[in-house]
Each structure stands twice: as structure tokens, then as C-alpha cells.
Amino acid sequence: MLNRPDRVSPGTRERVERVMAELGFVRNESARQLRVGKSRTLAYVVLDAGNPFFTDVAAGIDDAADDADLSLFLCNSANRADREAAHLTLLEQQRVQGILITPVDPDAAALDQVARRGTPIVVVDRTRRLEDFCTVAVDDVLGGRLAVEHLVDRGHRRIAVVGGPTSIGQVQDRYAGARAAWTDAGLDPDDLVPLETDAMTVAEGRSAGERLAGLAARRRPTAAFCVNDLLALGLLQQSIGSGRSVPGDLAIVGYDDIEFAAAAAVPLTSVRQPRHQLGRTAASLVLDESTNPDHRHQQVTFTPELVARASTL
């Protein structure tokens, strides 16, 4: 409880500690921080605390924070720019050691302003147009490619790509990878059917399933690549619920490989991202930026990996 117990004689020390306990003394962190000038916390502003992918990333950050003797505070923006901004403002005012963020919009000016004023920021699972930030992401073009190559290997010649909104860079990248793999295989671009969703949730996955079922049989894809697992689980549920078999009538590939993907009753083929590693790396970058005077920004990109399961045979 004392800062330097060794600087004080055992007697006094014991006496002081007794009185502290008696009086219920608790150090005032605001005063300490005001004097010392630095905080003992990191924050992760997350896009959707209910998505297991992000909580796994957070677990990785938490591990690294633990090692550095810092506490991690998780802030949920719930995909809303106003909430994200409010969190950023408070965190900046708190002078946290560093902010990790999966932003609603990675190119938003607010991020630059915070960074310019001196709070280290690392963007997680997104990339920016400019390379003026540390960034930790996964190669989404490759991920999209892996998914579609796998489906082509399995013999599918007409497939849906489910995801959106397409304003999200990640969705664009996965689409782009999918399209590249498709044309590389010499297939007709018209047979790669985009199915846009309003969000990446289970409910939107179900609704995509209904739209899919509404297509005429000869125009209906035999497989779907969903740009995340929540969509895939929703699609899976809707398909089975309406009597179609997976993968018989519809093969499904998801993305993220969250725990519930493997645990689905038709285990989901999915593109796995090293989410724990993503978090750990992001944390170490933000710590470097906050402590190392000649820190250089880096863009770290990890490689995704396809995990084949029953939903694609």
C-alpha cells in the first residue's frame, strides 16, 4: 500500500499501515495521476461487445495489459458514432495511457485529432487510408479468397456472398477477394450473387436466408459465403428451419470462427482470424507508442486461415 516501504523504519511502517487500515485509507488516483502525469489504464473501444469475435480480441489485449500491470477498460460503442465519440472524449480527458479502437469509421477525423493531441491510438481489425496510425488487421482480401476457393473446390458454380453494409471496408475487401478467386477460376461473374445486409447480425442472416429461398430454383445459389459468423449462423438457422439441408441444399462458409461456429449443430466452415494474437499485438503497439520515444507507426497484417467443417461437407 505504501509507495516505498523500504524507505521507512519497520516500526513507523507498521504503525502507519495499521492506521491506514483502521481509517480505511484509499489512495486518490486522480490526485496521484495529476501529480505524476500518467494513468495506469488502457481502453478498448469496441464496435460490438456482443460479438464473441471482439471479446476474444479483448481477451488478448487484457493479457498484454496484465503483463504490463495495467488495467483494461472496455467501452462499447455499439456501432454508434455518437457513443464512440463520447467515449473517446472522456478517455482523452482521463489521459489514459493508450486507446485501442475498432472504430465505426476508421477514417473519421475525430481519431486523428485525439492522436494529434498526444494520446496513442491503435486501430484494431480495420485499416486506414493513411498510414499515420498503428494498425493491426487481418488480410481480408485473402480471407474472401480462401472462402470462395474452398467452395469452388467443392464444386459450387453459383454462390451467394452475404454481407453489408458495403460501406464497411472489411466487407468490401472480403467481397473483392471472393470476386478475384471466382474470376481466377474462370467462372462467370454473374454467378457470384451479392446479397447485401443492413448489419452483420444473426437476424440479418435469417433475413438473407429468406431472400435466398425466394429465388427461383434454377437461379438459386448452392452455396453462400457470409462475411461473418453471425450472419452465417442466422442463415444456417433459417435454412434448416425451412426444411433445406446444410450442406446438401446450401453449403455455408462463415468468417471469424467464433466459438459458436464450431458448436453449431451443423458445425460451420469458417475463415479463422488470430483474434487473441490481434489483441496482444495491438496492445504491445500502443504500449510502445506510449513509452518508446522513437516509436514508429506500423501496419501489422495477419493471415487468415480456412477451417473446414460440416457446413461445406
Partner DNA sequence: TTGTATGCGTTATCAA
Partner DNA sequence: TTGATAACGCATACAA
Which residues sit at the interface with DNA, rule CB under 7 A? 3, 7-9, 11-13, 25-28, 31-32, 34-37
Beta partners for residue 311, in sequence order: none
Phi-psi region of 23 (alpha: psi -120 to 50; beta: other; left: phi over 0): alpha
Exactly one of 181, 224, 226, 236 binds a second copy (CB under 8 A); which one?
A: 236
The yes or no reply on residue 246 touching a second copy (CB under 8 A) is: yes
CB closer to a second copy, 26 vs 130: 26
Phi, psi (deg, nearest 5) at residue 56:
-70, -40
Residue 13 C-beta: closest distance to DNA, Å? 7
Phi-psi region of 118 (alpha: psi -120 to 50; beta: other; left: phi over 0): left
| Site residues (CB under 8 A) for a second copy, limited to 247-266 | 259-260, 262-266
Choices 55-63, 135-143, 149-157, 212-220; region in contact with a second copy by CB under 8 A: 55-63
The yes or no reply on residue 49 touching a second copy (CB under 8 A) is: yes
| Site residues (CB under 8 A) for a second copy, limited to 9-38 | 24, 26-34
Asked if 240 and 268 count as a contact pair (C-beta separation under 8 A), the reply is no
Name every residue whose Cβ is closer than 8 Å to that of residue 26 and which is 6 or more positions away in sequence. Answer: none
Burial 218-235 (b: 16+ CB within 10 A, else e): eebbbbbbbbbbbbbbbb
The yes or no reply on residue 66 touching a second copy (CB under 8 A) is: yes
Kindly state the DSSP code that residue 107 receives in the 8-state scheme.
T
User: Site mask, a second copy, residues 81-120, x = CB under 8 A?
Assistant: --x--xx--x-xxxx-----------------x--xx---
CB closer to a second copy, 20 vs 108: 20
Asked if 152 and 145 count as a contact pair (C-beta separation under 8 A), the reply is no
CB closer to a second copy, 112 vs 196: 112
- Return the C-alpha cell found at 170: 472489411
DSSP letter string over 192-230?
EEEEE-SSSSHHHHHHHHHHHHTS-GGGS-SEEEESSHH
Residue 81 C-beta: closest distance to DNA, Å? 25
Interatomic CA distance for residues 74 and 76, integer angstroms: 7
Interatomic CA distance for residues 266 and 102, integer angstroms: 30
CB closer to a second copy, 26 vs 217: 26
The yes or no reply on residue 43 touching a second copy (CB under 8 A) is: yes
Exactly one of 237, 269, 284, 290 binds a second copy (CB under 8 A); which one?
A: 237
Residue 122 C-beta: closest distance to DNA, Å? 25
CB closer to a second copy, 59 vs 187: 59
Interatomic CA distance for residues 250 and 107, integer angstroms: 37
Q: Which residues bind a second copy (CB under 8 A)?
A: 24, 26-34, 39-41, 43, 49-50, 52, 55-56, 58-59, 62, 66, 71-76, 78, 83, 86-87, 90, 92-95, 113, 116-117, 202, 233-234, 236-237, 240-241, 246, 259-260, 262-267
